[in-house]
Structure 1
Amino acid sequence: MALVGLERIERLLVCPHCRSPLSAARDVLSCTSPQCPHHASAGFPVVGRWPVLVDFERSVVRREDFADGAGRVRQDSLGRASRLPRPLRRLWKPSNRVAVRNIDVLMRALPGSAPTLLVVGGGTVGNGVDAVYRDPRIQVIAFDLVGSPVTQFIADAHHIPLPTASVDGVLVQAVLEHVLDPALVVAEIHRVLKSDGLVYAETPFLQQVHAGPYDFTRFTASGHRYLFRGFEELAAGPVAGPGTQLLWSVDHLVRGLTRSAFAGRVTRLLLCWLRVLDRLVPAQYAMDDASAYYFLGRRREGGMSAPEIVAYYGGAQTKH
């Protein structure tokens, strides 16, 4: 696995509040700036092998979550689907071919002999992106709000504890729906990327609530593009279309009727063939009814005007 050892990235880590360097003492990291509130405070704890670099006053994570030194640790780096028998696993969560294709483009475009790729919300290995962890050329740095075998530190994506212009690429898959301020997170991604840095994102549109109280927002194709207006678009479109969106809806309809998540999951397995309908829907209609969208882009300065984002729409409701 191409995860960079924590000892190699410690020099990159900065205070999430003021971005000053950190100093280490026992099981605590402290900000070196006398003007920073984290300089004279209890600092940032280290839980197990994970530094917890969270500005607790501006996060959904509380310092108390780590007060006993245990914190929260995600042991399963592949997610719930990995616990199913292989045939059922393929039906429940088939390979994300869109991600596989775009990750290949991303890896080929990353510059140099040892480019750095930051995985935002990388507590698990995302569907279709595992190639970045297998490529020995790519130096992967990953964080999440919980520790896991595939992360080096714990942090809040609203305040990434890395210096400006410090990474070559960013991967943020199925994360932006779980943050309170997606625009701020994307601004942070823009900040930590080098001038020609690349980003690959996948974000839901028509999906039911998942992760309970930590699910906050959705984006249309145009809304997703405007969110990444500080990037030149290299490719964008649906990750999964109306068939997959229908499958999600039936799953949750059955959950509501039966008051049983298990019944919904069984129904989802039985009706997994609905995903095939994605291939039958023309692209312009899929743009209006997709389950999720992807965006692959290159960092730039500037944004998009209101007329530009209105003209960006390419769905079936275009006026002729």
Structure 2
Amino acid sequence: MVLAELDMIRPLLVCPCCRADLRADPGGLRCTAPDCVYHASPGFPDAAGWPVLVDFAHSVVDREALDSPASSPDVRRGADALPAPLRRIVKPPNLVAARNIDLLLRALPGPAPTLLVVGGATVGHGVGAVYRDARVRVIGFDIVTSPATQFVADAHRIPLRTAGVDAVLVQAVLEHVLDPVQVVAEIHRVLKDDGLVYAETPFLQQVHAGAHDFTRYTASGHRYLFRRFEEIAAGAVSGPGTQLLWSVDHLVRGLTRNALAGRATRAALRWLRALDRLVPPDFAQDDASALYFLGRKRDREMTEAEIIAYYRGAQVSS
């Protein structure tokens, strides 16, 4: 795994509250703005060696809980918690992500582009090429510590300079934030001109992270969320067959009051995923389990008329 050294990315870091420069003190990082609440030393604590750059007054992250790693919220559950052989059965490789990540990597400029992974506590499905490309400087953060991240932060207030990165990867994260519009605005802010974003977000999926699961998007809603980006590619990550598999899994969980029984049923019926290949893209858009968007930063915002005309589904207005 290739991650940028913290010392290399430190010049990009700013205060999440006021975006002023940070200063390294023996006790940790603090804001250099005298009137900022995080100016007093230490302004930002460490958690197991990871800088915690969070505006705690406006975040779900609990400052006191960070002192106890076991109490940190875990938004990666379900299939991700299974052993690797079982995980591959329940959650097979994401070929759509792999294809789109290849497009993104080929479009990145220069010899050493910087790519930010929002919510990068675990390496997402199908995006491993990002971490294997030696020319890409990967920056990752999440609300928990992880070997795949360099600092802890809240995506609503990304502690990076404006126009500081070449690309952003945000996979299976936007459903877990309180205000996706604000998070996407932050992604737009930290991207350089013509910077790239790749996002995957659920449409028809059951709750999968308890208290840390908030939002779902249709294809049109997902496109409008990224309305300040030019579309390069968009569509279904997984279609109606996968969506049906999710539903059967959770139906069995409800009937048996047992999550393991649901996962076992999902594994037994994994062939339902193959049905995705038989559904045309317009029908799949209306009944997708999850959606993706690959786009390029622009200043012009999509209009209300444009998003109505954007609809590509199978339903025809009468």
SS, match of residue 64 in structure 2: helix
Partner of 1:49: 49
Partner of 2:310: 312
SS, match of residue 45 in structure 2: strand
Unaligned runs of 5+ in 1: none
Partner of 2:135: 137
1:1-320 to 2 correspondence within 5 Å? 1-40=1-40, 42-67=42-67, 72=72, 80-81=79-80, 83-84=82-83, 86=85, 88-319=86-317
Report the Cα distance in structure 2 between the residues aligned to 1:73 and 1:58, rounded to whole angstroms.
16
CA contact (8 A) 1:231 1:298 kept: yes
- Cα root mean square deviation, aligned: 1.9
Identity percentage of aligned residues = 68
Cα 1:311–1:84 shift into 2, 3 Å: same
CA contact (8 A) 2:55 2:157 kept: yes
Report the Cα distance in structure 2 between the residues aligned to 1:82 and 1:65, rounded to whole angstroms.
22
State the shift of 1:71 in Å.
6.9
SS, match of residue 128 in structure 1: coil
Report the Cα distance in structure 1 between the residues aligned to 2:41 and 2:127, rounded to whole angstroms.
39
Q: Which consecutive aligned stretches of 4+ in structure 1 deviate over 2 angstroms post-superposition? A: 66-74, 77-86
Report the Cα distance in structure 1 between the residues aligned to 2:226 and 2:266, rounded to whole angstroms.
32
Cα 1:62–1:41 shift into 2, 3 Å: farther
CA contact (8 A) 2:139 2:150 kept: yes
TM-score between the two structures when normalised by the length of structure 2? 0.95
CA contact (8 A) 2:79 2:91 kept: no
Cα 1:157–1:133 shift into 2, 3 Å: same
State the shift of 1:201 in Å.
0.2
Report the Cα distance in structure 1 between the residues aligned to 2:79 and 2:218, rounded to whole angstroms.
27
CA contact (8 A) 1:16 1:159 kept: yes
State the shift of 1:72 in Å.
3.6
**Count of matched residue positions in the alignment of Structure 1 and Structure 2:** 317
Cα 1:71–1:246 shift into 2, 3 Å: closer
CA contact (8 A) 1:73 1:147 kept: no
CA contact (8 A) 2:78 2:208 kept: no
Q: Deviations 1:179-234 (Å, cap 9, x if unpaired)?
A: 00000000000000000100000000000001100000000000000000000000
State the shift of 1:49 in Å.
2.0
State the shift of 1:82 in Å.
7.0
Report the Cα distance in structure 1 between the residues aligned to 2:42 and 2:81, rounded to whole angstroms.
38
- Opposite residue 308 of structure 1, the aligned amino acid is E
Q: Deviations 1:83-137 (Å, cap 9, x if unpaired)?
A: 4352x33221111000000000000000000000000000000000000100001
State the shift of 1:318 in Å.
2.8
Report the Cα distance in structure 2 between the residues aligned to 1:69 and 1:98, rounded to whole angstroms.
34
